[in-house]
A and B are shown apart, each in its own frame.
Chain A
């Protein structure tokens, strides 16, 4: 019996270690842990923010998360109050609701109008879930006020009932073929020379990991065919003229007081140039993307839809 007791204690210790690791990993991966939170409360909201809501694909909070596509939400409560005043809204909460329900109404300076409506496919958050996220966002520099959120209940839509019909390309294509083309560096222009997916590829352009979850097919089609239409924040082309009269067009990889590192496209190859402050005559952001605008000519129809299907599959 004593041996059985020792076995039980040993087993519980091993399982305790397992639970500890699960909690530790949850902390690292950005989840809230502690079980399934439900209802309208910050705990549930936090879980949705880092989970099903997929907010963390674009937003970080302080040093938590690594996304830069959307604004970092640290201290959001105070920022929301300021923006509400700026927009003539009654409170910071109303601003937050507007940002979620009609995200295109106001776009934070320096960012692009790329936020999807989270109550529509593919994210499909319900009213209660959105309210929970709101309560969580209120805690970022402030206090949650559930009663106030409830007052705005009618302004928050329920999850769309529209049947989720996946995007069907006009011709039959295989996302796996699209993936192959995406990473095929034997081509004249290779997507992965500038974009990263799942840790593979380069970081000249925006990281496309999870892009299918947050962007519509229409946005991606436009981004491939007309890359200058919307340029993701931080990836604008920089026009740099040196003191000896040389001109460069590229993306700023890093900029410090000591140096500016520019990634320049040289006939399909990305070259890295380092400039010191005394070498720079002028720097100016351009409205034209460094991404080639001739993908319509470079890709066949099948290749184009293959890449599109692949990008949409990245959720």
Chain B
């Protein structure tokens, strides 16, 4: 047994090191080749056996990104689950964390191989462009390679030392897992700087291309927004892919024990995916806003030009995620005794979610024929035109998130009955709540102060003061919520905070959004952040509150893991396919925004592939990428499961 593990371990390390050496060797050869050509004629572009180079790089880089997202997202919740297991002493959590890591370990070598393939493709097919990128970033490329070693050692150390460190050294094992996350995240941040440099180059002379500051090139304008967006998206991605793995296993499970295990795993995967999905629109909004700030031209291409229609497709995929996530939760209530008390709410949440989805989907500028325009009398539809603008879309996104959160709250309390008075939870609960509320309030105060100190003309600034008032009301509502909870009225406090938040973020700020669009358009960006801040503060305080309110609550029924309708597993599959497709779509948008530039504003793409593909073409290519990724990941997971089958047979 030990010999098997040892040889497998060595094999995987060997693959990783081989991939790395291959990349380095290829870089040396490629750069040597390029220098040799300088005397003759520099080759700028090649194709791949007659296939368009752009298409090859598109597919390989997306596949690499998807595997990378998985191997970066999963360790975050694997370690978290392990910590929960270590703290609670519940072996189920430890086993789950180990199963996550088994998948991770299998996917890691594929990620490395894909990385190597991507490097080959880039250096081989775009030699001129890559020579320049290497000139600028070569010191960071070496750091990247070294960190890759560190990540590989931590991952395999983490996975293969599970049994050895189980009894003595659990926390050292957790430390290894944390370091795995630290190295993995740093790797992603390094690679992100190359991609964002291409979108918002800095630290170079835009005329000559000469490097003026490596630090500025690395920490370019879009670097941090992309980092934040990718970090959160990777967690959602990992959660939903794990959920789908559990769904397939559940559907094929023979024993009740297996069904229960994979049902639970699917639930955890969905929970992680949804938890990460909730802040994702905010991170996306931040990224979009920063793209506008980095380059208004790029911003217009994104929201008003060639890529504006892709956001309709994005809305459909995000709608699938929210609807699928909620549908799974509602189905999950079937396995919980006592959940019938809350079923009546589902129909209302359903209506709200579909309404939000419809508004999100409605374009401002309908494609109308001349006759239709004449019939309506203007370019815009008299009613739907209001749904197409940011004020309406921001409101429904926040309502969608609050509704999903509400779904989760009723799921959590489905089998809970009488709760203990809050005072019974002791000082630790009181302190935890005060710290949570305090930090949240601190953030709201900080943002309100920022708004009050904005340097704007008096005519525009008057439209900012209602936002400050909204923040003050929210702060007051949080204080009242805490006081109500301390008076043992925690459930009422939650409802109170949710209502106040909805009234501010969804009702009032939606209306006010139209006012500022009309009167002082630039205030809309502050309004959006205010909306987000109010909603996030509510989610944080209510979630922490929920944990304590229902701590040690009387259970009115059992959770019968494994007794979930089969249809719910298709919801998990839908979530996985939707998030993988979404990642493919967003990769296309982010990269395509540069239009015919390799490095925006400095190096033009003069290859045959330098055109913006139609959405239909993007659809086919993304579908191909998704199919390839799911096929590869299924194969890798199947390989990872072979050892288990062998063990079962031996037993």
Docked-complex contact B630 and A313, CB < 8 angstroms: no
Q: Which of B273-314 contact A (CB under 8 A)?
A: 293, 295-297, 300-301, 303-306, 309-310, 312-313
Docked-complex contact B578 and A7, CB < 8 angstroms: no
Stretch at the interface among B170-178, B362-370, B545-553: B362-370
Docked-complex contact A31 and B367, CB < 8 angstroms: no
A88 located at the interface, meaning its Cβ lies under 8 Å from any Cβ of chain B in the complex: no
Q: Which of A193-231 contact B (CB under 8 A)?
A: 197-200, 203, 209-210, 212
Given that A28-B367, A31-B614, A32-B614 are known contacts, is A7 also in contact with B248, CB under 8 Å in the complex? yes
* Minimum distance in angstroms from A189 CB to a CB of chain B: 15
Size bracket of the A interface: 35 or more
B388 located at the interface, meaning its Cβ lies under 8 Å from any Cβ of chain A in the complex: yes
Docked-complex contact B611 and A29, CB < 8 angstroms: no
Given that A22-B619, A313-B296 are known contacts, is A63 also in contact with B612, CB under 8 Å in the complex? no
B460, B612, B614: which contacts A26 (Cβ < 8 A)? B614
Given that A14-B578, A34-B617, A198-B300 are known contacts, is A29 also in contact with B309, CB under 8 Å in the complex? yes
Q: How far is the CA of A203 from the CA of B373 in the complex (A)?
A: 14
Given that A6-B251, A313-B297 are known contacts, is A26 also in contact with B615, CB under 8 Å in the complex? yes
B599 located at the interface, meaning its Cβ lies under 8 Å from any Cβ of chain A in the complex: no
Residues of A within 8 Å of B459, CB to CB, are 186
Residues of A within 8 Å of B300, CB to CB, are 198, 210, 313-315
Q: How far is the CA of A14 from the CA of B517 in the complex (A)?
A: 37
Given that A14-B577, A15-B623, A33-B617 are known contacts, is A310 also in contact with B296, CB under 8 Å in the complex? yes
Q: How far is the CA of A242 from the CA of B306 in the complex (A)?
A: 46
Q: How far is the CA of A19 from the CA of B297 in the complex (A)?
A: 29
* Minimum distance in angstroms from B130 CB to a CB of chain A: 22
Docked-complex contact B573 and A10, CB < 8 angstroms: yes
Which chain B residue has the least Cβ–Cβ distance from A4? B248
* Minimum distance in angstroms from A125 CB to a CB of chain B: 10
Docked-complex contact B573 and A7, CB < 8 angstroms: yes
B182 located at the interface, meaning its Cβ lies under 8 Å from any Cβ of chain A in the complex: no
A35 located at the interface, meaning its Cβ lies under 8 Å from any Cβ of chain B in the complex: yes
* Minimum distance in angstroms from B361 CB to a CB of chain A: 11
* Minimum distance in angstroms from A44 CB to a CB of chain B: 10
Docked-complex contact B305 and A315, CB < 8 angstroms: yes
* Minimum distance in angstroms from A165 CB to a CB of chain B: 9
* Minimum distance in angstroms from B173 CB to a CB of chain A: 33
Q: Which of B551-606 contact A (CB under 8 A)?
A: 570, 573-574, 577-578, 581, 596, 601, 604
Residues of A within 8 Å of B520, CB to CB, are 185-186
Stretch at the interface among A78-86, A148-156, A176-184, A272-280: A176-184
* Minimum distance in angstroms from B184 CB to a CB of chain A: 27
Docked-complex contact A7 and B251, CB < 8 angstroms: yes
* Minimum distance in angstroms from A166 CB to a CB of chain B: 7
Given that A164-B604, A186-B459 are known contacts, is A15 also in contact with B614, CB under 8 Å in the complex? no
Which chain A residue has the least Cβ–Cβ distance from B249? A3
Residues of A within 8 Å of B297, CB to CB, are 212, 313-315
Which chain B residue has the least Cβ–Cβ distance from A309? B296
Docked-complex contact B251 and A63, CB < 8 angstroms: no
Residues of A within 8 Å of B642, CB to CB, are none
Which chain A residue has the least Cβ–Cβ distance from B626? A15
Residues of B within 8 Å of A176, CB to CB, are 293, 296
A11 located at the interface, meaning its Cβ lies under 8 Å from any Cβ of chain B in the complex: yes
B69 located at the interface, meaning its Cβ lies under 8 Å from any Cβ of chain A in the complex: no
Docked-complex contact A22 and B247, CB < 8 angstroms: no
Docked-complex contact A23 and B619, CB < 8 angstroms: yes
Q: How far is the CA of A180 from the CA of B379 in the complex (A)?
A: 25
B161 located at the interface, meaning its Cβ lies under 8 Å from any Cβ of chain A in the complex: no
Docked-complex contact A15 and B611, CB < 8 angstroms: no
Size bracket of the B interface: 35 or more
A36, A63, A197, A210: which contacts B613 (Cβ < 8 A)? A36
Given that A11-B573, A164-B604 are known contacts, is A19 also in contact with B619, CB under 8 Å in the complex? yes
* Minimum distance in angstroms from B71 CB to a CB of chain A: 22
Which chain A residue has the least Cβ–Cβ distance from B300? A314
Residues of A within 8 Å of B52, CB to CB, are 36
Which chain A residue has the least Cβ–Cβ distance from B521? A183
B320, B389, B620, B622: which contacts A35 (Cβ < 8 A)? B620
* Minimum distance in angstroms from A91 CB to a CB of chain B: 29
Q: How far is the CA of A51 from the CA of B301 in the complex (A)?
A: 12
Residues of B within 8 Å of A18, CB to CB, are 313, 317, 581, 619, 622-623
Q: How far is the CA of A23 from the CA of B320 in the complex (A)?
A: 18
Residues of B within 8 Å of A166, CB to CB, are 601
Docked-complex contact A66 and B309, CB < 8 angstroms: no
B25 located at the interface, meaning its Cβ lies under 8 Å from any Cβ of chain A in the complex: no
* Minimum distance in angstroms from B22 CB to a CB of chain A: 31
Q: Convert B503-525 into 0s and 1s, putting 1 for each residue whose CB lies closer than 8 angstroms to a CB of A.
A: 00000000000000101111000
A52 located at the interface, meaning its Cβ lies under 8 Å from any Cβ of chain B in the complex: yes
Docked-complex contact A31 and B615, CB < 8 angstroms: yes
B316 located at the interface, meaning its Cβ lies under 8 Å from any Cβ of chain A in the complex: yes
Which chain B residue has the least Cβ–Cβ distance from A182? B521
* Minimum distance in angstroms from B614 CB to a CB of chain A: 4
* Minimum distance in angstroms from A226 CB to a CB of chain B: 26
A175 located at the interface, meaning its Cβ lies under 8 Å from any Cβ of chain B in the complex: yes
Residues of B within 8 Å of A183, CB to CB, are 521-522
Q: How far is the CA of A12 from the CA of B297 in the complex (A)?
A: 37
A22, A184, A212: which contacts B618 (Cβ < 8 A)? A22
Q: Name the residue in B296, B312, B377, B457 with the highest tally of chain A Cβ atoms < 10 Å from its Cβ.
A: B296
Q: How far is the CA of A34 from the CA of B614 in the complex (A)?
A: 8
Q: How far is the CA of A51 from the CA of B592 in the complex (A)?
A: 13
Q: How far is the CA of A177 from the CA of B369 in the complex (A)?
A: 36
* Minimum distance in angstroms from B50 CB to a CB of chain A: 13
Docked-complex contact A203 and B519, CB < 8 angstroms: no
**4 nearest A-B residue pairs (beta carbon):** A22-B619, A33-B616, A3-B251, A63-B369
Known: A26-B619, A33-B617. 14 other contacts (CB 8 A): A1-B252, A2-B252, A15-B577, A15-B623, A18-B313, A22-B615, A22-B616, A36-B611, A36-B613, A36-B614, A51-B612, A166-B601, A176-B296, A183-B521
Between-chain CB contacts (< 8 Å), 12 pairs: A4-B251, A14-B573, A18-B623, A19-B620, A25-B312, A31-B615, A52-B612, A186-B459, A199-B304, A210-B304, A210-B305, A254-B377
